[in-house]
Amino acid sequence: MVADLSTPGQTELVLKGGRGGRGNSHFATSTRQAPRFSEDGDKGEEKEVILELKLLADVGLLGFPNVGKSTFLSIVTDAKPKIANYHFTTLQPNLGVVKTKNGDGFVIADIPGIIEGASEGVGLGIQFLRHVERTRLLLHFLDVSGQEGRNPVDDFYTINKELKNYSEKLSTRKQIIVANKIDVQNEELIKEVEDLAKKEGLELYKISAATKQGVQELIDHVAEVLKTLPKEELVEIEDKKVYTLEEKDDDWTIKIEDGVFIVSGRAVQRLMGRVNIEDNESMYYLQKCLKNMGIEDKLKEMGVCEGDTVILDDWELEWYE
């Protein structure tokens, strides 16, 4: 993890650029008032990074498919999610903004149904679990109607297991249990959910998203709870890497292999990266630099002759006087 971009105006440097080059005006002199060459900059880094989008929402709706999350979102916000009586109606996260009576507002993310094995890619997999990471509060929807033939208590533990498998930190996020579909509730299932909430020490709200029963009370409570939950940093980078421009390094070496003079070193690499060898004026500048750096004198001392091959960094040139 390189950076977590979650603050307005935040910037992070993930690639180190090379020192900049100089334009042709820099090389103007009294005898060369209009130079036709310039100097390229040093090479920068190149790497492949993955940019992962995570929705910025305050509240996340958790639950198995078809437990009423989309219906709830549609009545408390202006969002228009697809609603139908079959699993995986919601195929992508939906966002909605809730406005409370006292003017407070918060964002809800309806996360597509999570099933057993989601943390390993089953169903819609982990592609949406990451969106839950951004939320400060989770509303865990449980179907207490019994119409799906599932046990809401088992569903609760199954989803929390998937959260923990995906992220230990996420599994500790504050949750409120929402027993939905109480208009057609199964009394036995309601009792089991009540016992579950008491056992886990979690708040329980009983609602019917279809009839709006208990919905306003839940929204008002969520607004108050959010005031007590600070934003949590998703990434804790202990040793943050700071990029700085390298100081100029004038070291270079010359060796002879099979009659070829090989000049290497950071100074040579930087010089050749900036020179345009297709341009005559630029080549004259290169010769001047080689002389000023002492490379030309060293080559002559080592016996370079006209017509010899000299390799400067990755460039193979023929030496001439």
Question: Does the pLDDT at position 76 exceed 70?
Answer: yes
Average pLDDT, the chain: 78
How would you classify residue 197: left for phi > 0, otherwise alpha for psi between -120 and 50, otherwise beta? alpha
Confidence band for 139, pLDDT divided at 50, 70 and 90: very high
Average the pLDDT over 130-156 and give the result: 85
Q: Which residue has the higher pLDDT, 87 or 207?
A: 207
Confidence band for 123, pLDDT divided at 50, 70 and 90: very low
Q: Of 31-40, 80-89, 197-206, 263-272, give the range with the top mean pLDDT.
A: 197-206
Contacts by 260-268, CB closer than 8 A, 24 or more apart: 260/308, 260/309, 260/310, 260/311, 261/299, 261/302, 261/304, 261/308, 261/309, 261/310, 261/311, 261/319, 262/311, 263/295, 263/299, 263/310, 263/311, 263/312, 263/313, 264/313, 267/293, 268/295, 268/312, 268/313
Any residues with CB less than 8 A from the CB of 311 and at least 6 apart, and which? Answer: 260, 261, 262, 263, 317
Query: DSSP labels for 11-70?
Result: ----SPPPPP-B-GGGG--SS-SS----BPPPP--------------SEEEE-STTSSHH
Residue 239, pLDDT score:
55
**Domain layout of the chain by residue ranges:** 24-48+246-318, 59-226
The residues that bridge with 108 in the sheet, in sequence order, are 59, 96
Q: Which residue has the higher pLDDT, 187 or 167?
A: 187
Structure pTM?
Answer: 0.58
d(CA 36, CA 252): 28
Token pair listed for 27: 């090389």
Condensed to tens digits (0 to 9), the pLDDT of residues 92-108 reads 667 788 887 777 788 88
The CA angle 22-25-28, to the nearest 5 degrees, is 115
Residue 53 vs residues 60, 96, 130, 271: alpha-carbon distances, Å = 16, 17, 9, 40
For helices 69-76 and 215-226, what crossing angle results, to 10°?
A: 80
Domain 24-48+246-318 of CATH type 3.30.300.350: yes
The CATH-assigned architecture of domain 59-226 is: 3-Layer(aba) Sandwich (3.40)
Residue 264, pLDDT score:
86
Residue 127, pLDDT score:
57
How many H-runs (helices) and E-runs (strands) does the chain carry?
8, 10
Confidence band for 88, pLDDT divided at 50, 70 and 90: very low
Confidence band for 248, pLDDT divided at 50, 70 and 90: low
